[in-house]
A and B are shown apart, each in its own frame.
Chain A
Amino acid sequence: MANKPDRILEEVGRRGFPRLPLPFLLVFPAIFVLSIVILYPLISSSFLSLFHYELTKPNEVEFNFLTNYNNMLHDDTFWLAFKNTLIFTGVSVVVSLVIGLIGAIAIDQLPERFAGLRGVVLVPWIIPGVVVGFLFMLIFDVEVGVANVILKHSGIIKEFLPWLMDEHLAMIAVIVANIWNQVPFYILMFTAGLKAIPMDVKEAAIVEGASRWQEFIHVTLPYLRGILVITSLLMVIRNFNNFPIIYTMTGGGPVFSTTTLVIYIYRLAFEQFNLGYASAVGIVWCGVLLMVSMIYVKMLYKQVHG
């Protein structure tokens, strides 16, 4: 069925003067721009990744094939950054997902006159990452931070904690900030998803004997499954790239405990000027991201056509 319009267009292309079909011409500007801003840097950095190239040592530039990649295998900071990226992304996505789902269900059940609240919930989402970072840097400050004050007053901690200066707490702090920033997005997506569930299907389940929970598991959740998968993948990609919150809050520290791959690449390239090695790490990071993106695109396609 889908073949028909294509065939017609091809016919037109065969007869008309410009032999390129119209869809191709329309897509061309986008492809062109993308190839300049994405393809070129990608090719150029894969090329760079095969060199020993430090800006501070312009006389020592040399082709060293896969040495950068080999060094990466033995670079414990790289592996730590890799692990941190997975922890940061994984925990952020899973926790935001659960909070977002609960939030969406709560908002979905709000009476109409509280509809304005939906807008308010979105506020954290529109705040730029750098601002969020600064906000939470202050919140988690060891001296004046609100987090310490609240936790101490509620008896959860006895002494003020150096949140951003403790290898474990710092990761928790950046994840909390990140979750705060992105939960609204999940709420938005899930609210849209919930709205799309036909009321009578839920009611059918209720009449058939499902408890609210069983209804949620057997009807609401399956309906949300598509949105759940796509939103998660989208956020995995986004969090893989999350730079501003971490960089403003901790700069990747203390030591390297909140250094994710993007932060590591930034430090390698713009603090140590080790462009060759930074490119190599960037290519690996890009590869991982590409795999996630491919799953995303596949899922999206399935969602639309399946």
Chain B
Amino acid sequence: MSKKKWVILLTMLTILTLVLTACGGGGSAQQKNASGGSQGTVEITFVNWATAEEATKQQMLDVIKEFEKQNPGIKVKNVPIPVGEQLNQLTIMTTGGNAPDIAQVHFDVGISLAAMGALEPNDNLLSKEFLDDVNKKLYDFGMYEGKHYLIPWVGHPLGFWYNKKLLQEAGLDPNNPPQTMDELTKAMEIIKQKLPKDVVPLQIDTTIRTLGLSHEWSFMSAFGTVPVDGDKVQANQMGPYAEWLRMLVQKGYTLPGKKFGEFRPLAAQNRLVFGFDGPSFKGIIQSFDKSITDEKFYETWGVTTLPVGVDKKPYSAPDDHNLAIFKASKHKEAAAKFAEFLARSDFSIKTYVIPLGFLPTVQSAVQRFPKEFSDPARKAYVEKVVPAEVRLPYGPNYSKIATVVMAGMQEVITTNKPIPEILNNVQTKLEGIIHGK
């Protein structure tokens, strides 16, 4: 092509691009006008996985409906996303200028979003009575750089579920689950010998996911060393835990590479002995097998804190659900009102929180619903597991840390490389992430 033709080509390209972008811009502007122009009522967008999962969908929709009834000026636009996609989707929505008003998030995702600058601090948005009532520990887990970004909605800490029937079949005391990690290991050995081959002794998540790290974190704590403690990187001292993890897989005490959710069907089939799962464990198992009544469930399952390790302290990781209000939201007050309704209203606690097996995050709930709190599992959670919850190294680097640590743990269970070598490698990478660029 001649030079002239190139010039013409480029000119035409430019013009077309301009025309197209102009059209696109015009379109979105119109959209904004339309959404802002609705008089009287405001619409808030609510991104959540509660309506993306069959077990919780209907209850959530009921709560939203009730909220809209009680607050005729506010409409809630429901946007379901899968739980594993929250960080991904919310980040993209935010960077794309399409952030929701409010979203359901786990701690790690919430703090990452806060670090990204996507969230609005809520210290001044929430009412005083709510702040007085909310569980202080959980509320403070949601702090980043001195400000609160997350509103605790439902408690879902991981507790140690034990299958009494299978323990009995293995000749172990069904009412006295292992208290220490050593006892746990010993019990698993007996289970492996005495019970059929398809019984899996322990639920532990070994996937390379942030959820994997939060699942394993409590086990790591029990063995004395977590990979990152504040600014301190100490992955190279995780030898005992890594050895134990490798042993678990080698001896067939768990299924490697599975998400912790993938153990739940086994539990419903009575093929799992020790679970490490949230209080919704019961509801989920019942949803797999409708014939399991509450009574039947409690005949089989008991729950307590994770067996203790070197420091004799039980640990639990927060898999709690929070609400986050976005900086880009135009209706932050409405969103805050909605958040308080979800976390604190009688209707929400009665319809959503308690029936699904979650724990309320407001202290007044125990007085308001004394009967519901006599449930053995909920009691154990409130009295033992919640106090054992610890905060993980949430922050902008959390997902990178999780990838490195969990990749290292996978290396432990899928290769025969010397453990110190693997851990030193993890150590170097973590130092790179936390201390240098």
- For chain A residues 1-60, which have a beta carbon within 8 Å of chain B? 19-20, 24, 28, 31-32, 35-36, 52, 54-59
Pairwise interchain contact A271-B399, C-beta atoms closer than 8 A: yes
A226 within 8 A of B: no
* Min CB–CB distance A73 → chain B (angstroms): 15
Q: How far is the CA of A55 from the CA of B117 in the complex (A)?
A: 10
Contact of A165 among B88, B95, B396, B413 (CB under 8 A): B413
Pairwise interchain contact A273-B410, C-beta atoms closer than 8 A: no
Q: How far is the CA of A253 from the CA of B4 in the complex (A)?
A: 53
A167 within 8 A of B: yes
Q: How far is the CA of A35 from the CA of B87 in the complex (A)?
A: 31
Interface hit among B8-16, B218-226, B234-242, B346-354: B8-16
Q: With A28-B12, A32-B16, A165-B413 in contact, do A56 and B255 touch (Cβ < 8 Å)?
A: no
* Min CB–CB distance A78 → chain B (angstroms): 13
User: Could you say which of A31, A167, A274 has the most chain B C-beta atoms within 10 Å of its C-beta?
Assistant: A167
Q: How far is the CA of A274 from the CA of B410 in the complex (A)?
A: 23
- For chain B residues 252-266, which have a beta carbon within 8 Å of chain A? 255-257
Contact of A57 among B12, B16, B115, B198 (CB under 8 A): B115
Pairwise interchain contact A255-B410, C-beta atoms closer than 8 A: yes
Q: Which residues of B contact A57 (CB under 8 A)?
A: 115-116, 396
Pairwise interchain contact A20-B8, C-beta atoms closer than 8 A: yes
Q: With A165-B256, A270-B88 in contact, do A58 and B117 touch (Cβ < 8 Å)?
A: yes
B175 within 8 A of A: no
Pairwise interchain contact B1-A24, C-beta atoms closer than 8 A: yes
Interface class of chain B by DSSP: helix
B414 within 8 A of A: yes
B112 within 8 A of A: yes
Q: Which residues of B contact A142 (CB under 8 A)?
A: 255-257
- For chain B residues 193-214, which have a beta carbon within 8 Å of chain A? 198, 207-208
User: Could you say which of B410, B413, B414, B415 has the most chain A C-beta atoms within 10 Å of its C-beta?
Assistant: B414
Pairwise interchain contact B12-A256, C-beta atoms closer than 8 A: no
- For chain A residues 152-167, which have a beta carbon within 8 Å of chain B? 162, 164-167
A244 within 8 A of B: no
B403 within 8 A of A: yes
Contact of A254 among B4, B117, B410 (CB under 8 A): B410
Q: Which residues of B contact A202 (CB under 8 A)?
A: none
A251 within 8 A of B: yes
Pairwise interchain contact B91-A273, C-beta atoms closer than 8 A: yes
- For chain A residues 250-274, which have a beta carbon within 8 Å of chain B? 251-257, 267, 270-274
Q: With A56-B116, A271-B88 in contact, do A253 and B208 touch (Cβ < 8 Å)?
A: yes
Pairwise interchain contact A253-B410, C-beta atoms closer than 8 A: yes
A203 within 8 A of B: no
Q: With A56-B116, A253-B257 in contact, do A166 and B91 touch (Cβ < 8 Å)?
A: no
Contact of B115 among A19, A24, A56, A256 (CB under 8 A): A56
Q: How many chain B residues touch A (Cβ–Cβ < 8 Å)?
A: 38
Q: How far is the CA of A273 from the CA of B91 in the complex (A)?
A: 8
Q: How far is the CA of A196 from the CA of B115 in the complex (A)?
A: 63
Q: Which residues of B contact A52 (CB under 8 A)?
A: 437
Q: Which residues of B contact A253 (CB under 8 A)?
A: 207-208, 257, 407, 410
Q: How far is the CA of A255 from the CA of B400 in the complex (A)?
A: 14
* Min CB–CB distance A126 → chain B (angstroms): 27
Pairwise interchain contact A166-B17, C-beta atoms closer than 8 A: no
Pairwise interchain contact A36-B117, C-beta atoms closer than 8 A: no
Pairwise interchain contact B17-A54, C-beta atoms closer than 8 A: no
Q: Which residues of A contact B9 (CB under 8 A)?
A: 24, 28, 31
Pairwise interchain contact B117-A166, C-beta atoms closer than 8 A: no
User: Could you say which of A58, A257, A274 has the most chain B C-beta atoms within 10 Å of its C-beta?
Assistant: A58
* Min CB–CB distance B313 → chain A (angstroms): 31
Pairwise interchain contact B1-A254, C-beta atoms closer than 8 A: no
Q: Which residues of B contact A267 (CB under 8 A)?
A: 403
Pairwise interchain contact A36-B256, C-beta atoms closer than 8 A: no
Q: Which residues of A contact B189 (CB under 8 A)?
A: none
Interface size class of A (residues with CB under 8 A): 35 or more
Pairwise interchain contact B414-A272, C-beta atoms closer than 8 A: no
Q: Which residues of B contact A20 (CB under 8 A)?
A: 5, 8
Q: Tell me the total A-B contact number using a CB cutoff of 8 A.
A: 86
Q: How far is the CA of A255 from the CA of B407 in the complex (A)?
A: 5
Q: How far is the CA of A135 from the CA of B410 in the complex (A)?
A: 23
Q: How far is the CA of A24 from the CA of B91 in the complex (A)?
A: 42
Pairwise interchain contact B112-A56, C-beta atoms closer than 8 A: yes
Q: Which residues of A contact B91 (CB under 8 A)?
A: 55-56, 273
Q: How far is the CA of A274 from the CA of B16 in the complex (A)?
A: 32
Q: With A20-B8, A36-B17 in contact, do A54 and B257 touch (Cβ < 8 Å)?
A: no
B431 within 8 A of A: no
B411 within 8 A of A: yes
Q: Chain B, 84-121, contact with A by CB distance < 8 Å: what is the 0/1 string?
A: 00011001000100000000000000001001110000
Q: Which residues of B contact A257 (CB under 8 A)?
A: 414
Q: Which residues of A contact B17 (CB under 8 A)?
A: 36
Pairwise interchain contact B256-A24, C-beta atoms closer than 8 A: no
Q: Which residues of A contact B407 (CB under 8 A)?
A: 253, 255-256
Among residues of B, the one whose C-beta sits closest to the C-beta of A169 is: B414
Q: How far is the CA of A165 from the CA of B399 in the complex (A)?
A: 22
Q: Which residues of A contact B115 (CB under 8 A)?
A: 56-57
Contact of B414 among A54, A166, A252 (CB under 8 A): A166
Q: How far is the CA of A167 from the CA of B411 in the complex (A)?
A: 8
Q: Which residues of B contact A274 (CB under 8 A)?
A: 400
Q: How far is the CA of A59 from the CA of B17 in the complex (A)?
A: 30
Contact of B256 among A31, A59, A162 (CB under 8 A): A162
Contact of A143 among B13, B16, B255, B403 (CB under 8 A): B255
Q: Which residues of A contact B413 (CB under 8 A)?
A: 165, 254
Pairwise interchain contact B399-A272, C-beta atoms closer than 8 A: yes
Pairwise interchain contact A55-B256, C-beta atoms closer than 8 A: no
Pairwise interchain contact B95-A255, C-beta atoms closer than 8 A: no
Pairwise interchain contact A165-B257, C-beta atoms closer than 8 A: yes
Q: Which residues of A contact B116 (CB under 8 A)?
A: 55-58
The 3 closest A-B pairs by CB, nearest first: A165-B257, A254-B414, A165-B256
- Could you list some 17 contacts between A and B, CB below 8 A? A20-B5, A24-B9, A52-B437, A57-B115, A59-B117, A143-B255, A162-B414, A165-B410, A165-B414, A253-B207, A253-B410, A254-B256, A254-B257, A254-B411, A255-B408, A255-B415, A271-B87
Known: A19-B4, A35-B13, A253-B407. 20 other contacts (CB 8 A): A32-B12, A52-B437, A55-B91, A56-B115, A56-B397, A56-B399, A57-B396, A58-B116, A58-B117, A164-B257, A165-B413, A166-B414, A254-B256, A255-B407, A255-B410, A256-B407, A257-B414, A271-B88, A272-B400, A272-B403
